[in-house]
Structures are given as C-alpha cells and as structure tokens.
Amino acid sequence: MNEALVMLLAGGVGSRLNIMVEARAKPAVPFGGIYRIIDFTLSNVMNSGINNVAVLTQYKPLSLMEHIGTGAPWDFIGRGRGANILPPRTGQKDSDWYKGTADAMRQNIDYINSHPSREVLVLSGDHIYYMDYRPMIQFHRKKRADMTIAMMTVPMDQIRHFGTAITDRKGRIMEWEEKPEVPRTNLASMGIYVFKTSYLLSVLQKTGEHDFGKHIIPMAIKENSVYAYPFQGYWRDVGTLDAYWKANMDLLDPSSGLTPEAWGVRPNLEEAGLMSDWPPARVLPGAKVSNSVISAGCVIEGTVEHSVLSPGVYVARGAKVKDSVIMHECQIMAGSRIAMAILDKKVKMEKNVIVGSGPKDTPNQEFPEQLFTGLTIVGKKSLLPSSMHIRPNSIIYPGCSEADFGQKEVLPGSVIRPLTP
C-alpha cells in the first residue's frame, strides 16, 4: 500500500480535564499505570505498518515532546522512519495560533506538500482505542472517496457530544449534524479522517474555515464524495474527568474490551527511568490486592481494591485504596482511606486522611459540568494533612499544603487552591 501521510493532532487544551491538564497537554496525561493517552494512537500507527507520523503540538507541549522523543519506543526511528514533532507555530500574525483542526492542517500545508502522498490520515491523540488503519484506507480507495470518516454507533443519550451522520445504503454520508441537541441518528464520528491529499489541499486553500466538524465536513458532503467507515470495538473519548476515570476502570473489567497489552500498545518505558529505576512491585505480608493494576516500584502494605496504580506508589499498612486512579510516586500513609478518586503525581496523604467518602449529589461549585458524579480530584504534589476529610466532587489544586486547608473537612463540591502561587 502506498503509505498515507499521518497528521496526529495533539495540541488541544482539553479544559474539561481541569487540573489534570494544568501543566500538560491532554494527550500527555498518564493512563492505565504505565501509559500516556497518546500511546494508543502512536501504537495504532505503528501496528498499521505506517512508518512516519507528524505530531502537531501547541498547548503546553513540553511533557508531550519529551515523551515522544525520537519516536524509538514505537519504532519510528531509522532510515525511512520518523516521528516528526511539529511545534507550535503562527500564521501571518504572532497571535495566529491554531483556531481549530482544519486550521492546524492549513498552517502545516508546507509539511504536507513536502511529503507527497496519495492520502492524508488525520488522527487525534486523545482517544483510547485500537484500530488498524489499513482497512479504512483501502475502504476509502475502493469508494473513490474524497474524504472518509471513521464512525461508530453510540447510545442516543451520548450522541450530543459528537458529530453525527446520516448515510445511504452504500455508506455515503448524505447529512451531517455537529453535536445535535435533538439527534436523528446514533452514528457518531470518531475524529479519524482519511482525505484524498489533492482534495484536502484544495479545500484548505480555498476556504478559511477552522474546524473539520463544524465547517469542512458539511461543505464536503454538499460538494464531494464523503463516506462513513464503520468501526466496531472499544473506543472512548477521555476528554472529561468522568470518562477518563471510567476508561481506567475499564482496564479492570475483562468484558470491556480494553486490553492494551493484547493490542500491542507501547509506552515510553525509558521516560523518567520507568524501566531502569523501578524495581518490581512488592505486595508485603498482610497486604490485600484485588482486581487492580499494580505497576513497577509500588509497595503495598495495606489494601488496594479495583484501582489503577502507576509506578512508585506506596500504600501503608492500614491504608485502603478503592475504585481510584493513583499516579506516579503517590504516598498513602497509615489509616488513610481513598475511594473513587484521581490522584495526580507525587501526592502525599498523611495518616488517617479520608478522600471521597460521603454524599455524591453535590456538584463542584466552580465546575458543576465537569465534576458531578462523585469523583474527587487531587492535583500534582499536593500534601493532604493528617486527619483531613475531603468529600466527593472536590478539587484540590496542584501544590496545596497544610496551610491551604482552613479546617479538617473539605465540604462536597469544594475547590482548594494554594494560598500562595
């Protein structure tokens, strides 16, 4: 197969992940113990036999760029191979940052022109899924399409979050609605596109519109041949706190279909010494671990149930972790209890701290649309003082310490920030 040019969009803000993306791009958010979100798309490209990928970055790209590095973890290194990071750039004005997905392509037309290809495969770096892109490209060619969109059926109560399509019997898209309030179909876009290169260049040059879903796709349907490629399998947009937590919990459910190892998903194990510095995990006598992911370097003396632990986590004797995502080098000291929570890297819970216990029906006071299901979010390098009780739907900002808590209880739906930046 004549190799398609891969353009991987990884520059979005991802604001619905709240403090999880305060210092990193959404695709760089850790996931599932040893991965980052972008590892799934990079591995899909690798496993599809495609040797080159351009990664378009913009928002807080440093950790993402360090993670991708030379591309060696995904075999994008060597003659004829490459992971090309296209750093943030501007258009004619200094403030002319990417205004949308189509605008990101437009500002990199020079790169597309310098890498001749029959098709351009546009991907997103913030979804959890497995897909071999070769059958989709073959489908695109067979249909002689100008554009092909990967689509799957989703529950009707979720369809308002997606672009939707109405197709004819041959799969050609006849109508398109972007995030409809009253949907007429449950066929949703996955944000994966194959373009005939000549068509993509033409449409980008003749219109100044910024977004594929809102602008380019409706126009293409009216003027050209656009098809829906049917996808079946696990796919989740982890763009919200609840979706991110649920996807991590799916790792613990054999019936979910989320199996990164079977999919051949590769992390960058050399990053931050994940391979060379961490010893094997230790579960000490008296500890209890059930249905959990326990990464290298973890030391478990207490109880861990139905949770995902990244490398270097310590759970002291008498402490309990349940239904939670605990990132690198967190410490949960004796007597502490944590349930249905996400802890970013290097959080320390001192003795007898309780996180996540109590009524879950009070949404977060500042971010009610982002945090309302009972999760508790604790930011990177926060210190939770002894005997503190943090109720559900609360957010503890990165870097908080004992001086930032006015009392021993954080009420449901609260937001705690450091008193001094």
What's the pLDDT score for residue 300?
98
Q: What is the mean pLDDT of residues 365-385?
A: 96
Do the domain assignments include residue 255? Answer: no
**Domain identity same for 42 and 170:** yes
Do the domain assignments include residue 268? Answer: no
What's the pLDDT score for residue 92?
45
Total domains in the chain come to 2
**Domain identity same for 65 and 135:** yes
| Chain centroid to CA 165 | 24
**Domain identity same for 155 and 210:** yes
**Domain identity same for 308 and 235:** no
User: Among the listed ranges 61-70, 203-212, 286-295, which one has the minimum average pLDDT value?
Assistant: 203-212
Q: 30 with 274: CB under 8 angstroms?
A: no
Residue percentage of the chain with pLDDT more than 70: 94
Q: Identify which has the larger pLDDT, 107 or 257.
A: 257
For residue 19, give its domain range.
5-250
**Domain identity same for 289 and 222:** no
Do the domain assignments include residue 244? Answer: yes
Write out pLDDT tens, residues 329-346: 999 999 999 999 999 999
Please state, in angstroms and as integers, the Cα–Cα distance from residue 333 to each residue in 116, 118, 347, 353, 379, following that order: 57, 57, 11, 8, 17
User: Among the listed ranges 11-25, 333-347, 354-368, which one has the minimum average pLDDT value?
Assistant: 11-25
Do the domain assignments include residue 273? Answer: no
Residue 390 structure tokens: 């943090």
Do the domain assignments include residue 173? Answer: yes
What's the pLDDT score for residue 269?
81
**Domain identity same for 339 and 395:** yes
Do the domain assignments include residue 265? Answer: no
**Domain identity same for 246 and 313:** no
What's the pLDDT score for residue 297?
94
pLDDT of residue 398 exceeding 70: yes
Write out pLDDT tens, residues 173-218: 998 888 888 888 889 999 999 999 999 999 888 876 677 878 888 8
CATH number, domain with residue 17: 3.90.550.10
Q: What is the mean pLDDT of residues 360-370?
A: 94
- Distance, in Å, from the CA atom of 416 to the CA atom of 334, rounded to the nearest integer, reads 24
pLDDT of residue 274 exceeding 60: no
What's the pLDDT score for residue 96?
54
Residue percentage of the chain with pLDDT more than 90: 64
Do the domain assignments include residue 128? Answer: yes
Task: For residue 1, name the pLDDT band (cuts at 50, 70, 90).
Answer: very low
What's the pLDDT score for residue 209?
66
- Distance, in Å, from the CA atom of 225 to the CA atom of 221, rounded to the nearest integer, reads 6
Q: What is the mean pLDDT of residues 19-26?
A: 88
Do the domain assignments include residue 224? Answer: yes
Average pLDDT, the chain: 90
Residue 307 structure tokens: 């949770």
What's the pLDDT score for residue 102?
81
What SS3 string covers the chain? CCCCEEEEECCCCCHHHHHHHCCCCHHHCEECCCEECHHHHHHHHHHCCCCEEEEECCCCCHHHHHHHCCCHHHCCCCCCCEEEEECCCCCCCCCCCCCCHHHHHHCCHHHHHHCCCCEEEEEECCEEECCCHHHHHHHHHHCCCCEEEEEEECCHHHHHHCEEEEECCCCEEEEEEECCCCCCCCEEEEEEEEEEHHHHHHHHHHCCCCCHHHHHHHHHHHHCCEEEEECCCCEEECCCHHHHHHHHHHCCCCCCCCCHHHHCCCCCCCHHHCCCCCCCCEECCCCEEECCEECCCCEECCEEECCEECCCCEECCCCEEECCEECCCCEECCCCEEECEEECCCCEECCCCEECCCCCCCCCCCCCCCCCCCCEEECCCCEECCCCEECCCCEECCCCCHHHCCCCEECCCCEECCCCC
pLDDT of residue 26 exceeding 60: yes
Task: For residue 276, name the pLDDT band (cuts at 50, 70, 90).
Answer: low
- Considering only CA atoms, which of 80, 207, 227, 37 is closest in space to residue 144? 227
pLDDT of residue 47 exceeding 60: yes
Q: Which of 212, 232, 250 is the last residue of a domain?
A: 250
